[in-house]
Chain A
Amino acid sequence: MSRITERFRACRSAGRTALIPYITGGDPSPEETVRLMHALVAGGADIIEVGVPFSDPMADGPVIQAACARALAAGTTPARLFEVVRRFREDDPDTPVVFMGYANILEAAGYAAFVRDAAAAGVDGLLTVDLPPEEAGELADEAQAQGLDLIYLAAPNTSTARLERVCAVAGGFLYAVALKGVTGSADLDAGRVEQQVAGIRRVTDLPVAVGFGVRDPQSAAALAPCADGVIVGSALVRMIGEHGAAPDLPERLRDAVRALRRAMDETTTGGDS
């Protein structure tokens, strides 16, 4: 069983919704990313998403675009992010790590080499935003050989027929995109998301995590009861952007995650355990 699957099982039996924070790898620097990953876990993260910075992050809003630019300016490369995960794993063998990024980084490295290096470093899953299943054949073969979960998106406008095709190849969890828009958008409608998640559950037994547009403890808490996981990105990345040079950035980040954790747990206590 993969580390991701195992973690969702553990969350489910503890009656809590998994908290999945996203940070852009290498922002403000690759060295700092190791510390920030531990801070996320200290705050109560169940799974960590690390963004692999790309020069042209088409699916991201201004907050994560700026983080990609900072990470690239700091000299971040996939090789350095593999090193970040290796160092994180020295102290944390348990928390699953997902790399989220764009197809061209994998194209440039070669799918086989990227997957091999990711697996060797201790990465558990890959979410490649602009690589839908139809284009992911080569990646899927490699990921299966190396035991990496390939995580796919389900959008509000993904048809049921297509959802079935996506779920047939998806691993780890299904990432439900909560709104039509880029990351960091604001018009989240919890009632509609609940219906979307219910629709996904009719198609798959995979855990369903919801992301895009979760801005604060309140919106995380609103989504927690209907999902197996809640993903929070731009809100944390904005904080890193604003306090990147502050010596207490890890503590600030930990506290922000802790606030999300607490708000989510309050709405899910006595949940489906």
Chain B
Amino acid sequence: MATKAEQYGGDPAVGQDGHFGRFGGRFVSETLVGPLEELAEAYAEARRDPAFQAELDRELRDFVGRPTPLYLAERLTAGAGGARIYFKREDLAHTGAHKVNNTVGQAVLAARMGKTRIIAETGAGQHGVATATVAARMGLECVVYMGADDVRRQAANVYRMRLLGAEGRAVDAGTRTLKDAMNEAMRDWVANIDNTFYIIGTVAGPHPYPTLVRDLQRVIGVETRAQILEREGRLPDAVVACVGGGSNALGIFHPFLDDAGVRLVGVEAGGEGLASGRHAAPLNAGRPGVLHGARSYLMESDEGQIIGTHSISAGLDYPGVGPEHAWLKDTGRAEYVTVTDAGALAAFHRLSRTEGILPALETSHAVAHAECLAAELGPDATVVVNLSGRGDKDIATVAAQEGIEL
């Protein structure tokens, strides 16, 4: 018998059925309850099996390219005029973002469970590409759902998925973005549960997904903690990450949760500013509700209808957020701020020119806030930013801002 702590990622705060305080849970229709229980059991069993961890470690090393480096951004640090800014280089992971850490793990689990078909939702297309990549690697059929608007915004990633042998399906319902892709993936899953494994791309969704994805992304924080101790001889003063659904943030935060001296700062998409209403910042401007199988902060109307979000980055353009972030916010262990489209774009350009790194627009939100925080904390401090992904996928969006059509 697994103890409760073993079952829920060694985290005593996670209760039965994946509740984080009042958040999380399993708010799904009856047909999904059985498959989610089966997934939770398969995962608990895999965690206890050293062969699973060994296979995962091998995939992460040989296929993904881990460990990723921790890089001191000297010129950006000089420009910000304060704390030393380090980057955890998830952009150097295979496929160019942290998303692959999760898809490799879930695909190994899918194969263990005997599933032959993989489905996924994607916003920016990074999770879709990372899923198509592991599906190709493991010889599994793959269907990726993507909002019709995102298909347009992220055309290059749509083509990458096709090259990898996956079928992309544009979702024309609702706001035609990530949340609608997730609805459609859930509908597919419910109709095909016997042979299909749903790889959710972030720490959202019904239990066990928030803990499963977090555990698979924790490798970011585990490596970071060891690397910064080796480089600086002490823990960082702050760890900063962007928050869409929250997987890259939780992955780097989680191993630092017990280190009270380390500030954990999540950066949501401020869009055109919180006052404009056009943003994607549920932790800053939403309220608790239920969407996609869990209770968490949401962007919704007074009556509970989910409202449209806006961000320049498709990967942050989501009205919800993983339930553990809601809990970390309410307990005060992590703090959540926003950076606007304009702030992120400016950081995108600064980083490109000072460090030779084109960051993803999602990531640029975290970079922008880290620069401010570095100035505030002063030269004796260190700040680690999760450089969650590379920006090649975003160059058409950035060019369009300057009136250039690629």
Chain A contact residues, CB within 8 Å of chain B: 54-59, 61-62, 65, 69, 72, 77-78, 102-109, 129-132, 134-135, 152-159, 162, 166, 177, 180-182, 185
Q: Is the CB of A162 within 8 A of B304?
A: no
Contact across chains for B304 and A105 when beta carbons are under 8 A apart: yes
Proximity bits, B22-60, A CB within 8 Å = 1, else 0: 000111111101110000000000000000000000000
A158 contacts B187, C-beta separation under 8 Å: no
Within the complex, what minimum Cβ distance (angstroms) separates B213 from chain A? 19
B274: chain A residues at CB < 8 Å are none
* A24, B25: Cα distance in complex, Å: 27
Of the listed stretches B138-146, B287-295, B398-406, chain A binds B287-295
A135 touches B25 (CB 8 A): yes
- Choose among A57, A78, A131, A182 the residue that contacts B190 (Cβ–Cβ < 8 A): A182
B302–A108 CB distance below 8 A: yes
What residues of chain A lie closer than 8 Å to B17, measured between beta carbons? 134-135
Query: Apart from A107-B304, A182-B191, what are 5 other A-B pairs with CB-CB below 8 Å?
Result: A58-B186, A65-B173, A72-B305, A103-B27, A108-B289
Closest to A166 in B: B30
Query: How many angstroms from the CA of A62 to the CA of B183 in the assembled complex?
Result: 12
A55 and B305 contact, Cβ closer than 8 Å, known pairs A61-B187, A65-B173, A159-B34? yes
Contact (Cβ within 8 A) A156 B179: no
**Is A130 a contact of B303 with CB atoms below 8 Å?**
no
B291 touches A135 (CB 8 A): no
Q: Is the CB of B28 within 8 A of A130?
A: yes
Q: Does B73 contact A (CB under 8 A)?
A: no
User: A102 — which chain B residues lie within 8 A by C-beta?
Assistant: 290
Known contacts A65-B173, A130-B290, A134-B17; A58 and B29 CB within 8 A of each other: yes
Residues of chain B within 8 A of A185, CB atoms compared: 191
* Complex CA–CA separation, A156 to B291 (angstroms): 24
Decide if B187 touches A154 in the complex (CB within 8 Å). no
Task: Please judge, given known A-B contacts A58-B29, A152-B30, A157-B31, whether A108 and B304 are in contact too, CB under 8 Å.
Answer: yes
Q: Does B91 sit within 8 A of A, measured CB to CB?
A: no
Residues of A within 8 A of B395 (CB): none
**Neighbouring B residues of A152 by C-beta, 8 Å:** 30
Q: Which of A54, A62, A107, A132 contacts B295 (CB 8 A)?
A: A107
In the bound complex, CA of A154 to CA of B29 (Å):
9
Candidates B25, B191, B300; contact of A180 at CB < 8 Å:
B191
Closest to A105 in B: B304
Q: Are A129 and B26 in contact, CB atoms less than 8 angstroms apart? A: no
Chain B nearest CB, measured from A150 CB (Å): 13
Chain B residues within CB distance 8 Å of chain A: 17, 25-31, 33-35, 173-174, 179-180, 183, 186-187, 190-194, 288-293, 295, 298, 300-307
Q: Tell me, in angstroms, the Cα distance from A154 to B286 when the chains sit together.
A: 33
Q: Is the CB of A54 within 8 A of B305?
A: yes
A132, B33: Cβ atoms under 8 Å? Answer: yes
Give, as a whole number of angstroms, the nearest-CB distance from A70 to chain B.
Answer: 13
- Show 28 residue pairs from A and B whose CB-CB distance is below 8 angstroms, ordered by the A residue: A54-B304, A55-B305, A55-B306, A56-B179, A56-B292, A58-B183, A58-B187, A59-B29, A105-B303, A106-B304, A107-B289, A108-B301, A108-B303, A129-B29, A130-B290, A131-B290, A132-B28, A135-B26, A152-B30, A153-B29, A154-B30, A157-B34, A157-B193, A158-B33, A159-B34, A162-B34, A180-B191, A181-B190
CA distance A62 to B172 in the complex (A): 11
Shortest A140–chain B CB gap in Å is: 15
Which 5 A-B pairs give the minimum distances between C-beta atoms?
A: A108-B304, A153-B30, A155-B31, A181-B191, A55-B305
Contacts of A69 in B (CB 8 A): 174
Residues of A near B35 (CB, < 8 A) are: 157
For the complex formed, measure the closest distance between the CB of B11 and the CB atoms of chain A, giving whole angstroms: 20
A109–B301 Cα gap in the complex (Å)?
Answer: 11
A65 to B171, CA, bound (A): 13
Nearest chain-A residue to B34 (Cβ)? A157
- By a CB distance below 8 angstroms, the chain A residues around B27 are 103, 130-132, 135
CB neighbours of B293 from chain A (8 A): 130
Residues from chain B with Cβ under 8 Å of A153 in the complex: 29-31
| In the bound complex, CA of A59 to CA of B293 (Å) | 11
Q: Which residue of B lies closest to A158 (CB)?
A: B30
Q: State the Cβ distance, A265 to closest chain B Cβ, in Å.
A: 30
B-side contacts of A72, CB under 8 Å: 305
Question: What residues of chain A lie closer than 8 Å to B34, measured between beta carbons?
Answer: 155, 157-159, 162
